[in-house]
Amino acid sequence: MGRFTSVKTQAASVPPLQTQGPRLPNPYANAKFLIKAPFALVGFLIAILANRLFPQIADVAVTDYEFPSGFILNMNEAYELVLLGLILLYLIAGVYSWFDPDRRAKYLNRVPFRFAMGLALTAWDILGTKLLMLPQPFFPGPARIIESFLMEGDYILQNTLYSLRLFAVGFFVGVVVGVGTGILIGWFARVYYWVFPVLKLTGVIPAVAWMPFALTLFPTPFSAASFLIVICAWFPVAFATARGITSTPKSHFEVARTLGAKTSYLVFHVAIPHAIPNIFTGISTANGFAFTTLVMAEMMGQPGGLGYYINASKVWSAYYKVFASILVMAILFSLIMWAIGAVQGRVLRWQKGLIHE
Amino acid sequence: MSNHVLLGIENVYRTYVDDEDNKVEALYDVSLEIEKGEFVTIIGSSGCGKTTLLRLIAGLDTPLSGKLTIGGVPITGTDPERGYVFQQGGLFPWLTVENNIATGLKARGVYKQEKSRVQEYIELIGLQGFEKAFPHQISGGMAQRVAIARALINRPAALLLDEPMGALDSFTRADLQDKLLELWRHDETTMILVTHDIDEAIYLSDRIVIMTPRPGRISDIMEVSFPHPRHRGGVEFLTMRKTILEKLHLASALPEPEYRI
Ligand SMILES: Nc1ncnc2c1ncn2[C@@H]1O[C@H](COP(=O)(O)OP(=O)(O)O)[C@@H](O)[C@H]1O
Ligand SMILES: [Mg+2]
């Protein structure tokens, strides 16, 4: 649940309709913002300057990479470009936040962290690349990690897309099957009796335990891994959905019945809407399981994917590539979670201001 | 009278078994006839079977013995012709005000044809501008008005209201009482209201049914014949109030808590 905290706090800050009033501009608050906000960028600026100005003392090769367009880039330049990208990103976010007091407050709240992130990168860069003081080859500097993308960006992209495809197929099918099973279990006492115990028992088994069967029973490694993701998403979603359906207050059904509702209406317009918050809880649990299953499956016999890339790089002790893969995972999985959170916020907008933490 | 009878309740019994396996006689030999277009109030201390009676009329429950009919036809289950406003309102929290009100039309599959009635009822209950609000964003009084509009949109022959104003402050309550009278005249619906508020009963109804607990039965029925609008401080009002108070006191040997959920 903790994963969606940010969505909820955001929701809680929306006041009920009646208490919403006009917002008056506060010039003092604006001045405070102007003074504090730039520190979000200053940390990264320091990181760029450190990379530029700090001499390369340790013996590290700085290779030039030529792109098909004739463009030439070394790892330090690429790293600085990434930092510049971050500065631009937070600059745009700052300008966007400027116009709204809530967003301004949120932005200011994050300034210290972003500043510290810049300083941490600076320290890492100096210790990791310039002085080579961290244990090698396990802890390369940030520029080295970025270098992986210069060396084989296409290949990383290819593996990323493989992971994404695997995740999309497995997770989508898993959620759909999970919601379907959950509804049947929650609605029909008989299905509950026969299926729920089975679900409870098999639900605790980590999906990768089925790997040997999956690999022999499915025609391709891709379908085998999809199957594992399907079952790992299936159980938590089915569980949560069933709980949401069975916990629907009797009074909701009675209200609907006095209004002329028949069974199908009770299922689709009373029980299921009531279960939607539970379904999203299930989906967020499933999401975490699915990432784990995805990477483990890829590390144990897939022809591609970010997990495969980690394994392949490890063999050559190319730990900077391992880190590159981890970085891509962090970004990709965060984006997926953000997207699911956005859908959730949209679907559950009737809860805005209802849930307080 | 029998010509215009809408609802017939004949010798109805309903017994529950509570957690300690004791038999609770929620309704004991209850008989009542309600005319078309009448405004009837059921009053009585908590636990005397008011909700049980309303649920039987709604078709949410069945009697142990006895007969319930509407328009001469036995009541066998719920039907949109009998609207029900629950004690706690029970709006669907995931639906906006307008979609809550439209529920009846959608459930019966007539939403396309009768869509315009939603706006009509929003205006009748005075909630223009709140169409897109969700239940938790509106006040308790507004929520009850929405619940009433939602039940009325099906044009029920009878509207059953179970202490719809129990949780409201007295100003909101007076306001809603007037609104209820307005809706009653607008739709000519038969109103059956459960309340624990004597003033409310006198202010609104044509007849007041007094019930007593253990076993739950009707102890008295009183006509309220003076015309609307009724002045709450008027002599007739106060006299009536006194009579009912006396009857309620006589009716229950032990003093009961006024209100229990
Ligand atoms: N579902 C039930 N199970 C057991 N006892 C019940 C149930 N419903 C009502 N009763 C009992 O029946 C009596 C009448 O209840 P009710 O009709 O709710 O009274 P009122 O609405 O007048 O307060 C009470 O004693 C109550 O405890
Ligand atoms: Mg009651």
pLDDT tens readout for residues A192-240 = 999 999 988 988 899 989 988 998 999 999 999 999 999 999 999 999 9
Q: Please give the CATH superfamily to which domain A146-347 belongs.
A: MetI-like (1.10.3720.10)
Cis previous bond, B63, omega within 30: no
Q: For the residues B188-213, what does the mean pLDDT come to? A: 92
Chain A nearest-CA distance from B249, in A, is 33
For chain B, the residue count is 261
Confidence of residue B248 (pLDDT cuts 50, 70, 90): confident
**Does the structure show a pLDDT above 80 at B218?**
yes
Q: For the residues B72-79, what does the mean pLDDT come to? A: 92
Q: CA A256, B155, B1: angle at the middle one, nearest 5?
A: 115
Instruction: Identify residue A35 by its one-letter amino acid code.
Output: I
- At B24-36, the pLDDT tens digits run 899 999 999 999 9
Other beta carbons within 10 angstroms of residue A230's beta carbon come to 23
Q: What CA–CA distances, in Å, run from B230 to A60, A130, B36, B196, B215?
A: 95, 91, 22, 19, 33
B-contacting residues of A 246-305, CB under 8 Å? 251-252, 254-262, 265, 269-270, 273-274, 276
Q: For the residues B157-185, what does the mean pLDDT come to? A: 87
Asked if B84's CB is within 8 angstroms of A273's CB, the reply is no
Structure-block tokens of residue A33: 């913002």
Q: Which among A18, A257, A350 has CB closest to B134? A: A350
CA of B175 to the centre of ligand 1 (A): 29
Q: What are phi and psi of A175, to 5 degrees?
A: -65, -45
Question: What pLDDT is stored for residue A20 in this prediction?
Answer: 52
Contact predicate A297/A211, CB 8 Å: yes
Instruction: Identify residue B116 by its one-letter amino acid code.
Output: S
The CATH number of B5-253, from 3.40.800.20, 3.40.50.300, 3.40.50.410, 3.20.20.10, is 3.40.50.300
pTM of this prediction? 0.84
Chain A nearest-CA distance from B227, in A, is 32
Hunting for tokens 């709204």 — which residue is that?
A100
- At B31-66, the pLDDT tens digits run 999 999 999 999 998 889 999 999 999 999 999 999
A-B CB pairs within 8 A amount to 78
CA of B16 to the centre of ligand 2 (A): 14
Taking any CB pair shorter than 8 Å as contact, residues of chain B touching chain A are: 58-60, 78-80, 82-84, 86, 88, 90, 92-96, 103-104, 106-108, 130, 133-134, 136-139, 150-151, 154
Cis previous bond, B215, omega within 30: yes
- What 3 state SS string does B200-226 have? HHHHHCCEEEEEECCCCEEEEEEECCC
Question: What pLDDT is stored for residue A119 in this prediction?
Answer: 97
Asked if B103's CB is within 8 angstroms of A350's CB, the reply is no
Alpha-helical segments (H) within chain A: 5-12, 27-36, 39-53, 75-98, 101-125, 142-187, 189-203, 211-217, 221-246, 250-258, 263-265, 272-299, 306-315, 319-347
Contact predicate B1/B33, CB 8 Å: yes
Q: For the residues B146-156, what does the mean pLDDT come to? A: 93
- At B93-131, the pLDDT tens digits run 999 999 999 999 999 999 999 999 999 999 988 899 999
Q: What CA–CA distances, in Å, run from B106 to A209, A250, B100?
A: 47, 20, 10
Closest approach atom of ligand 1 to CA B162: 21
Asked if B136's CB is within 8 angstroms of A260's CB, the reply is no
Instruction: Kindly give, in sequence order, each residue whose CB lies less than 8 Å from that of residue B233, ignoring residues fewer than 6 positions away.
Output: none
- Best B96, B98, B99, B134 member to test A by mutation, with max A CBs in 10 Å, is B134
Question: What pLDDT is stored for residue B168 in this prediction?
Answer: 80
Q: Which among B79, B86, B139 has CB closest to A255? A: B86
Chain A nearest-CA distance from B180, in A, is 19
Domain boundaries, chain A: 26-134, 146-347
Chain A contact set for B161 (CB, 8 A) = none
Contact predicate B213/B196, CB 8 Å: no
Question: What pLDDT is stored for residue A9 in this prediction?
Answer: 38
Q: For the residues B225-254, what does the mean pLDDT come to? A: 81
**Does the structure show a pLDDT above 90 at A6?**
no
Confidence of residue B236 (pLDDT cuts 50, 70, 90): confident
Please tell me whether the interface predicted TM-score (ipTM) of this complex is above 0.85: yes
Question: What pLDDT is stored for residue B170 in this prediction?
Answer: 82
Chain A: residue whose CA lies nearest to B85: A255
Structure-block tokens of residue A303: 């022809």
Instruction: Identify residue A22 by its one-letter amino acid code.
Output: P
Instruction: Identify residue B222 by its one-letter amino acid code.
Output: M
**Of all protein residues, whose CA lies closest to atom 1 belonging to ligand 1?**
B16
Asked if B60's CB is within 8 angstroms of A254's CB, the reply is yes
CA of B219 to the centre of ligand 1 (A): 18
Q: Which among A16, A261, A350 has CB closest to B93? A: A350
B14, B48, B192, best to mutate for ligand 1 pocket (most atoms within 8 Å of CB): B48
Instruction: Kindly give, in sequence order, each residue whose CB lies less than 8 Å from that of residue A89, ignoring residues fewer than 6 positions away.
Output: none
- At A117-163, the pLDDT tens digits run 999 999 999 999 999 998 888 899 999 999 999 999 999 999 999 99
Q: For the residues B235-239, what does the mean pLDDT come to? A: 88
- At B173-192, the pLDDT tens digits run 888 899 889 889 888 899 99
Asked if A18's CB is within 8 angstroms of B83's CB, the reply is no
Q: Is A16 on the interface with B (CB under 8 A)?
A: yes
Encode A111-127: b = buried (16+ Cβ within 10 Å), e = exposed.
Answer: beebbebbeebbebbbe
**Of all protein residues, whose CA lies closest to atom 21 belonging to ligand 1?**
B51
Chain B nearest-CA distance from A17, in A, is 6
Q: For the residues A3-14, what does the mean pLDDT come to? A: 40
Q: Which among A17, A252, A269 has CB closest to B133? A: A17
CA–CA gap between residue A160 and residue A103 (Å, rounded): 33
Asked if B86's CB is within 8 angstroms of A252's CB, the reply is no
Question: What pLDDT is stored for residue A5 in this prediction?
Answer: 38
